A and B are shown apart, each in its own frame.
Chain A
Amino acid sequence: MDLKEILNELLMEDKTFLRIPVGSGTLEIYKSVVLTWVVMLVLFILMLILTRDFKVHNISKRQAAVESFVLWIRGVTGGMLGEEAIGYADYIATVLIFIAFSNMVGLFGVVPATMDLNVTIALSIMSIILVEAAGFKKKGFRNWIKGFAQPMAVIAPMNVLELLIRPLSLCMRLFGNILGATVIMELIKAVAPVIVPAMFSLYFDIFDGAIQAYVFVFLTSLYIKEAVE
């Protein structure tokens, strides 16, 4: 099995998972979207189980763990966002958890949802909308428009281009990293089918997955912080 075959298998396969007849045509739903639903469902069930009957006193270990996790992840995202944009910390934390989980489903032998360009595009569109909305909300329309001509009017075209470049780099970085990791894992599996993939999976699925999730939200937070300054 050579690289070309693997890439063909990973990239060119039919991604359609569901075909729902709507009117005269059909609504095709990709595997990645279905996988996103699965991830959401798992996360939702986890949240429901973990946050069940919370108490003010005599808290269980589970509650203590959830509370410290929430405070920790808010601290992480809040620290990246800075004082002024602290209100977006919850969304950024949600995205962090979602991307990390999505990246790690490779552990179960599933192709990660983040390896579909459509998902990373959606994530980066959300990010750029949030960035610009944060700036707009903070500065008002006039100053937001003026912000494009700073620090000099000359670089205004660059700033406008950034509206496209930023989400593009975000989505391509995430997509490329996960694709690369998956391809390498497939190659390793082809060469040495037992034991070795498990070791590499630790890095490529868990570590890389977490790192890429962190990088994505870190850059988004940085843009938001910059936008509200």
Chain B
Amino acid sequence: MLNVDWIQIGLTIFNLLVLYLLAKKFLFGRVDAILMQRREEVDSATKAADAAQQEALETKKEYEEKIAHVDEEKEQILGDIKKQGYAEYERIVNDARKKGDQIIVEAKHNAEVENERAKEVYAAQLTDMVIDAASKIAATKHSAADDKELYDKFINEAGAKNE
């Protein structure tokens, strides 16, 4: 064991280098790859989390602004609705008034027509009565008293009918 042989030394050095390369590739290399992957994942996850937080903050800000404007918007909407309501009210009242006027006009018209018709009927009856009376007078012999009586009767009849 004490003799020194350069071939053995060379072989051992070669062995060492081979072992180092194997360890580098299969032990340290593989572990490093995993560690690197894990680090990248953590980095990307952190980045994503940061981005999400930023986004959330922006959204929050946006909504806060919206909420701040909500009162104004409410007033505006209420005002609009009131205006619309007034307009509608005016329109309805106007319509009603117009209709009422129309009804009154129609009623007046109807009444006139009715009145006219009644007058015509009355005139026709009067004509009949006059003809009737005249024919009665013509048919009977009459004295002055009879005539007077007749006239009275006629007037009475006419008066009764006219009431």
Chain B residue nearest to A43 in the complex (CB): B19
Beta-carbon contact of B37 and A30 below 8 Å: no
Per-position binary interface string of chain B over residues 1-20, scored 1 when its CB falls under 8 Å from any chain A CB and 0 otherwise: 11111011111110110111
Please, which residues of chain B bring their CB within 8 A of the CB of A29?
8, 11
Inter-chain pairs besides A94-B23, A118-B12, A119-B8, 7 sampled, C-beta below 8 Å: A29-B11, A33-B11, A36-B15, A44-B26, A56-B34, A95-B16, A125-B13
Beta-carbon contact of A30 and B26 below 8 Å: no
Per-position binary interface string of chain B over residues 23-53, scored 1 when its CB falls under 8 Å from any chain A CB and 0 otherwise: 1101110110111011001000000000000
Beta-carbon contact of A126 and B16 below 8 Å: yes
Beta-carbon contact of B19 and A40 below 8 Å: yes
Q: In the A-B complex, list the 6 residue pairs whose CB atoms are closest, starting with the nearest.
A: A122-B12, A118-B8, A51-B30, A47-B26, A94-B23, A70-B31
With A91-B20, A116-B1, A123-B12 known as contacts, the answer to whether A28 contacts B7 (CB < 8 A) is yes
Please, which residues of chain B bring their CB within 8 A of the CB of A13?
1
Chain A residue nearest to B23 in the complex (CB): A94
Q: Which of A67, A97, A119 contacts B23 (CB 8 A)?
A: A97
Beta-carbon contact of A51 and B15 below 8 Å: no
Please, which residues of chain A bring their CB within 8 A of the CB of B1?
10-13, 15, 115-117, 179
Chain B residue nearest to A10 in the complex (CB): B1
| Chain A contact residue count (CB 8 A cutoff) | 47
Beta-carbon contact of B2 and A117 below 8 Å: yes
| Chain B contact residue count (CB 8 A cutoff) | 31
Beta-carbon contact of B26 and A48 below 8 Å: yes
Chain A residue nearest to B20 in the complex (CB): A94
Beta-carbon contact of B8 and A70 below 8 Å: no
Q: Which of A10, A11, A28, A47 contacts B22 (CB 8 A)?
A: A47
* CA distance in complex: A30, B115 (Å): 151
Q: List 22 A-B contacts (CB under 8 A).
A: A10-B1, A29-B8, A32-B8, A33-B8, A37-B15, A43-B22, A43-B23, A51-B26, A51-B30, A51-B31, A55-B34, A67-B35, A90-B24, A94-B23, A95-B16, A98-B16, A117-B1, A119-B8, A121-B9, A122-B13, A122-B16, A179-B1
Is the C-beta of A3 less than 8 angstroms from some C-beta in chain B? no
Please, which residues of chain B bring their CB within 8 A of the CB of A66?
27, 31
Please, which residues of chain B bring their CB within 8 A of the CB of A203?
none
Chain A residue nearest to B26 in the complex (CB): A47
